[in-house]
Amino acid sequence: MLQVIEPPEGASLLVIAAHPDDLESWAAGTIACALDRGCVARLLLVTSGESGSADPADTRASVARRREAEAQAAAQALGLAEVAFLRYPDGEVEDTAQLRGDLVTWLRRWRPDVVFTHDPEHTLPRYLCHRDHRVVGRAALDAIYPLARDRLACASHPAASQLAPHAVSQVWLFASAAADVCVDISGGFARKLAARLAHTSQTPNPADLAASWRARSATFGAEGGVALGETFTMLSIG
């Protein structure tokens, strides 16, 4: 049985995700509940999800525009303060110094207390996790510690090097097969679902999605003995 904990309170939160709708899939219920507790939350998307269409009339550019608009609508439904897009190529993200420097730039600019991102080591789903998730999670952790914290790090990245260093206090890893905590998201589930349904291009059947997402949240909740839940691996950075 996982330990049930409260979401953050009165803190600045940043979600670093690979694609539009990754936040909604794994952490939006917790973010919604944290907003109720006085937090401010922002979202940094590494790609715009431009590979996410089977329509032969679509181009990567047209899909990116549509999915960015959907991400903005989802953020509004959830109550996020800001969304930023790095526009790395969907499906082709690599763990480079440029990516790490870009992440450090936004960490130093927005200065979050808590960061939510992908678990790069113990992934869900096991073995078949999207490679962008693994890469983004690893790059995000390296950007958080030690790069964003150390004053002289990222000297070759102009934007990052011009900003004051920043130390994140906690990281919550989502989509984690090694989760050690569970959050009761009963009070945030409706907003989680509304945010996910804002991604209309990825939702062929809204009723089926709503039912399956409630069932999945119930499965995660059962790991902590709550009705609806999300699970995380928590890292404290001293």
- pLDDT at residue number 9: 98
Which residues of the chain have a pLDDT value below 50? Answer: none
Q: How far, CA to CA in Å, does 23 sit from each of 83, 98, 159? A: 12, 23, 26
Helices 97-110 and 131-142: crossing angle, nearest 10°? 60
pLDDT in tens, 136-166: 999 999 999 999 999 999 999 999 999 999 9
Which domain CATH number covers 89?
3.40.50.10320
- pLDDT at residue number 39: 99
The domain tally of the chain equals: 1
Selection from 26, 39, 7, 56 nearest residue 187 by Cα? 7
| Residues 8, 10, 11, 12, Cα dihedral to 10° | 120
Residues forming beta bridges with residue 234, ordered by sequence position? 172
pLDDT in tens, 64-103: 999 999 999 999 999 999 999 999 999 999 999 999 999 9
- pLDDT at residue number 126: 95
Query: Structural domain of residue 167, as residue ranges?
Result: 3-236
Radius of gyration of the chain (CA): 17
Q: Is the dihedral of CA 143, 120, 32, 63 positive or negative?
A: positive
Number of other residues whose CB lies within 10 A of the CB of residue 200: 13
Selection from 46, 3, 53, 50 nearest residue 23 by Cα? 46
- pLDDT at residue number 238: 77
Average pLDDT value for the chain:
98
- pLDDT at residue number 46: 99
